[in-house]
Structure 1
Amino acid sequence: MRNCYKGEYNRVISLGMDCRPKVIMDITGLSGKRTALDVVATQQIDNLIYVLNNRFTDWFLESNLYTQPNSDKQYKRVRDIHTNYISVHDFSPESESISSDYPTFKRRLDKHADTLLKDIRNNDRVLFILNLEMSPHERDTTDDLDTLTRQLPALRQLLDQMCGNTNSHLFIATYHEPLQSLHLSRTHIAIKQPYWKTFMRGEELQTWKKWLDGVWLIQK
């Protein structure tokens, strides 16, 4: 039953951990209103579990934010040191400080978080999409196999708790092939290839399309 994620859903929701799920959802017509995890990112699954378990109550507080040194003229990379999430697309590179953009950013983020929580709670069939490990070359900052093996069951349990039912499915993309032997209910684990070099183009894009072929939204 692990591979039976294809079918119809009330809602498809991105869990991050970067914006690949949101990109492919937009391309395939599975995207709805933006939610909180669409375009922010983290490298550890513990951070995802934490913000979901705490219903986003203490993330991206202004006192916990700092601008990363690797910000540039294209992206201002702002990290929440409490939850270890990073925003890349929400702060203007031209602004002198975080504070000038923060009120608008936080109102928008809280709205997106509220949308995500309501959609999880109010839709009977939800497909969650989770992209693990942004790059195979960033293994010094991403979770190891043991951590993922331990924490993915905790995430699966938390999602069921948040949904209030056992109808949701979880699709996971990872570089860790041994995770395919992990037995999780209503969970499908697909393997990404380390030779994919161009972000969501070429073979990577075509593979994501194939993974989601046969997934559709119930027409209201």
Structure 2
Amino acid sequence: MVKLLVASGNAKKLLELEAVLKESSISGVELLSLKDIAPYPEPVEDGLTFAENALIKARAGVRETGLACIADDSGLAVEALNGMPGVLSARWSGRHGDDQANNDLLLAQMSDIKQRAAAFVSCCALVTPTGEAFTAEGRWEGTVLPEPRGENGFGYDPLFEPEDAPGRSSAELTPEEKNARSHRGQALRRLAPHIAQLAAGA
């Protein structure tokens, strides 16, 4: 059994990875979240890309715990805003992780804009205790809604209408529907073979 640290305290991210491991028939992996280990200082996410920030978080997890670590960096890339909020998605309003403030600011910025194409982008990074590093990216195309809808999900989910689920926001999808489509689910599936190798070598 190999222990794999998921560098997040978000229980929904852990469930997403559990679902991917199950559908990929990968066993022998015990997932741990940041809530399951001794606290360590949060690394500064000063990368200019999702991949750089994901690697910063995954490498910090390995350095602090000695465990293999998987981390993701994700955000909403809005075409009319030149790809922003992008890597600044979680702190778009100036306060990290304030979903309501971030959503309110984005709606205000988009109020007069007719071109509302956007994509959720996620880069997941897996770093092993020996220093091997793998990254994978996923994109989920859609549009920015004029007002929030739905109670599921987090972040910008209530404002995002996926291309492959017209008429609903991603906050109106069930967890299963979202996992099957989402940017993070895509990225995690692309990393699954490397996780399988890790489990096989344990």
Higher normalized strand content (fraction of residues)? 2
Q: TM-score range with shorter-chain normalisation? A: 0.3 to 0.5
What TM-score do the two structures reach when normalised by structure 1? Answer: 0.31
TM-score by length of 2: 0.33
